[in-house]
Amino acid sequence: MIVHADDFGETRDITEGICLGIEAGVVTSTSVMVNMPGTADALRRMPQLAQQASFGIHLNLCEGRPLTRGATLMDADGQFLRKRTLAARALAGRLSLSELETEVTAQIGMLRDAGVRVSHLDGHKHLHQLPIVCTAVAHVLPRFGIERVRITRLGSWRGVHALSTLMREIAARHAARVFARAGLRSPGRTVDLRELLGGRTLAPLAGPAAEGPVPIEICCHPGTAAADAGKPGSHRRENELEYLLSQEFRTVLATSGAALVSYWRV
């Protein structure tokens, strides 16, 4: 079981919440945003945590300014396109593959240049799974020797209850084929921590014993109360951190029988 926190470096308060989870031994992996206000603070704090968690790149294509000047990725103010606009361009084939590859390369390169051993790639808002974007990712990761990438497949169409979920599942299944052709590996399943907060157990996620151990990723977004106040969003970061640090979550993990591992074990 990988307990993975997104958004390391988005803000100082988000980074602080993730650090608390890592230091408590319940968060085993995180991924770094390299173009955000909290990036410098995140890079400063990473060396003290390197023995406790893996660090990936949280590819960001929809917030802040890009590291490169790809015209198809930016608005008139030089900011990344908003999520829905980027997705619409990807689906319409209006993103430049070469510009995407250049931006992906720049973001990974910035983390590598800071001395970070990059375990994997995942995407802010899961946009790395979009058409064209996933192709760029599949082209770039082998150049850095990165072999792992997140895929958000549900595993069954029965879990699709909304149009947005359907679109993500279609994108994830397409991306999985693209990533597989590039020789990239992924956890068998990705589960949002909010599902566990809603009372779901981990037992049904395990595959048949004959398949052997299959890594499952619990994706979370912890942060402090100040993180929620400073940057409100769809995740209640303080609640997620409180749950991660609770005895209830430790009991859920113990009941599952899974060992906690980092992304290096995928």
Domain boundaries, the chain: 2-265
The pLDDT, as a whole number, for residue 210 is 44
Q: Can you read off the two tokens belonging to residue 197? A: 């907060």
Separation CA 122–CA 126 (nearest Å): 7
Alpha-carbon dihedral sign for residues 71, 174, 152, 199 = positive
Separation CA 135–CA 21 (nearest Å): 33
8 Å CB contact between 204 and 155: no
Write the CB contacts of 135 (distance below 8 Å, at least 6 apart in sequence). Answer: 97, 100, 178
**DSSP structural state of residue 56:** E
Q: What is 189-213 written as a DSSP string?
A: EEEEHHHHHTT--SGGG---GGG--
The pLDDT, as a whole number, for residue 206 is 52
The pLDDT, as a whole number, for residue 211 is 56
Across the beta sheet with 2-8, the strand order is 118-123, 54-59, 29-32, 2-8, 216-220, 189-192
The pLDDT, as a whole number, for residue 209 is 46
Separation CA 44–CA 71 (nearest Å): 32
The pLDDT, as a whole number, for residue 201 is 65
pLDDT, one tens digit for every residue, the chain (266 residues): 999 999 999 999 999 999 999 999 999 999 999 999 999 999 999 999 999 999 999 999 999 999 999 999 999 999 999 999 999 999 999 999 999 999 999 999 999 999 999 999 999 999 999 999 999 999 999 999 999 999 998 766 666 677 777 888 899 999 999 999 999 999 999 999 998 887 666 655 554 444 567 899 999 999 999 999 999 988 999 999 999 999 999 998 998 888 999 999 99
Residue whose token pair is 């206000």: 37
Angle of the 133-140 helix axis to the 97-113 helix axis, nearest 10: 50
Nearest alpha carbon to residue 173 among 209, 211, 131, 141: 131
Superfamily of domain 2-265: Glycoside hydrolase/deacetylase (3.20.20.370)
Query: What is the three-class DSSP state of 127?
Result: helix
Separation CA 182–CA 89 (nearest Å): 24
